[in-house]
Structure 1
Amino acid sequence: MKSKLSLVMIIILFILGSSYATVRGAAYATMEIYGTVTDVNGNPISQAVIIALDWKTLTYSVTRTDSHGNYRLAVTRTDELGHHTYVVYAYHINPKTGVFDYVPSVYPHDIYGGAKITDTREVSFKLYPAATLILRGDEGLVWYVLSREAPIWFIFKVVDHITGESPSINFSCIYVYGHPPYGSREGPDVRFISEFINRSTVVIPAGIPVHLVAKAEFRSDWTGRPEVISFIIDNNGEPFNLSQGESMTVDVRPFSYKYSVEALGSVIGEVEESFVRAEQAGFYVGALREDLRGVSRMLDEAKSQLPPVNPSPSEKEYDRVRYSLLERAYDQIKIIMKNLSLMYVIAQSHAAFFPFFFAFFTLILAFFLFEKDRKKVIFS
């Protein structure tokens, strides 16, 4: 009897083990992403980097193309997490110079809304020749005088110098660099491959005049709300137009500092409006207005230290513009507004006190002026 029970248990365990192995085998499956990377003339590009981004786990599978420009990647199709989908990136760096010589590309073009790769399929790329801009500047690259914090996000978007739109090369080129926000609709960006492309690197198409549109979101110290700023970065008033494989260092500071000068100019306009309202209410603001003129002179001095007046500011001049002029100017504005607010506070406190004071004063004055009617005054 015992032997029969043992046999039954062994059979049951065998069936359960077989079933588990079958389910496990069905749950885990792989697929292949393969293709070819060529230049615009159809010539293969060897040693191009291919990155397959798992959209579910945000992990990477990386490989390089062979001498014929071919690549092949085996990736997870299904596992215990479910079905996986993929976004594929391709780029190439010149091994001799260490800079990009082709514009990075991505499939699908719209990674947030496009149809991602769900099964074995071919994904080939045709890369456009490129040059590289290496950006330098303050911490976070973009600085804003009305914020005391680093930017929440920032981007540098490559746009055609004439149209102001992304260059129409008809390839899935990446034109948005920096530190883009999740779900950005500015176009294909480097958010998910920042480990491979530095935030201070911008790749531009070779032989096409372009400039950069810088955008960043800060928490404004002036309004207390998030604020998106935007300004253009160019090559001393001209577009960037480089040959394939060239690189150029671009300082972001003169552009962000000039934007901050304009922002402070707008704030000064708001303060002037506050002065007008204060004068209409009966306040004297002549001294505060003179202080504000001093702030305006600081902004004029800041402009004189920046291009185009000063084509090549030194590090010392950049520091002076930021710390001694722009930040100090904003601090002065806050002091002026604080003093203006203090006027209203004092006026309100006096408004509550003066009626009683004047009533008492009138009574005492009447008491001494009309001595004969003193009793009448007292008992009236």
Structure 2
Amino acid sequence: MIRISKLELFFFLLIFDIFPSTISILQNEDRVPNAPQNVRVKTQSTSATLWWDAPPDPTVLIRGYTVEYGEGSISQRIVIEGPDSTSFTVTRLAPNTNYVFAVSAYNEAEGEDGTKVMVAAKTRPAEGVQTEKLWPPTSVRARIEEKSLGGSAIVSWDDPNPENAADNSIDATQRQYVINYGIYESDTQQKVRSNAKAVRLTGLIPGKEYEVAVKVVAGDGSESPWSIRDLFLVPETKKVSKFDWFCRLNDTEMCSIDSSPHWKLCTAKHDTYTQRDAGACPRVQYPSSPAHLTTPPISLPDAQHLCFYFRFALLNFHPGQMKVEIHPDGDTSNRQIVWKTRMANVRTHVVQNVYIPFPQQIRPFKVSVSLKWDGQPMPRVIVHEMDVLSGGCSERSTACNLVSESTTAANGDVDFDSSELPETF
């Protein structure tokens, strides 16, 4: 048994109390330090302050820390000497900018730093500097889709705010538009978002007046004021006979219409310079004359009065000719011309709405719209819609200056000059 005197015990306790760290902790540099703990950052408009706690292993000697940073990726490095410095302020940063930071401890083991701890932060906007003001959309307009199932409207607008570099960067959030609409003076309003400068509103109630307004939302979240609201009326739904045949030409289908090789489907275009619905338009390479669009066979033996409605626009002046013919299905030799005109009489860039009455057809029949021209390229005509209506034409043609000045068709529905054109093309 080892015996210790009271004096020896007194000196032992005295030394342990004065030099406890020397006895309990022996530090070395045989490996790099662990990662700093609890790294955090706080930013101002042009600076960022980082704090951290020392690595948890006290047996590994720490000679200092490194702070690295950059915009999006590491590009700058600062070395801090001494193990007791556990905070640092980075200066000369750009306002309102995203930065990444990295903190690590180092010693002389293998000449390398320890594990890095990464954090990200955004500096504040510069004081006294406001973000650029966004202007509200202009020319908000609604166009009713009368032939669609249920009430619907296409709402479009212009954006007066120019694009900037931030909008086009890879990491940018795309500019959006918020559309607020509802029944006029109603408490119930709905909102939809769109990345394009147009949107289709569906589920509208026929016979109700609606109001709509639009605002811009930039990629950084800033918003413009609301635009001036536009008011539009959704018309009452027309009662359609089960015999009626409708074809609204769009960019996906031709409604089983038989077309000559001259035609192709064109998409709608609505922008500052062009307001155009989808339809059938000429191909780039124009084959020789004539061109035609012909309905599929239609059987309406019980209809005492019939009406052919078609909607088209002429995009350039042309001396060619246009006509509409009816003929029995399977008998193209027995054609009846029900309407014809010279295209020189048609105003360009105006949508023509033409209603043509024709008599009862006991046998199945087809309706054909034909174009003929000599020595020039094919007329630039876009046909938007072709309908065959039972019950006759209840509306007068709204075509603008469609035909020559001196003649009026029977029933007052369509004007054309039958004396100027031959009976056949």
Same-fold call, TM cutoff 0.5:
no
Which protein, 1 or 2, shows the higher relative CO under an 8 Å CA cutoff with sep ≥ 6?
1
Higher helix share: 1
From the CA coordinates, give the structure whose radius of gyration is larger: 2
Higher strand share: 2
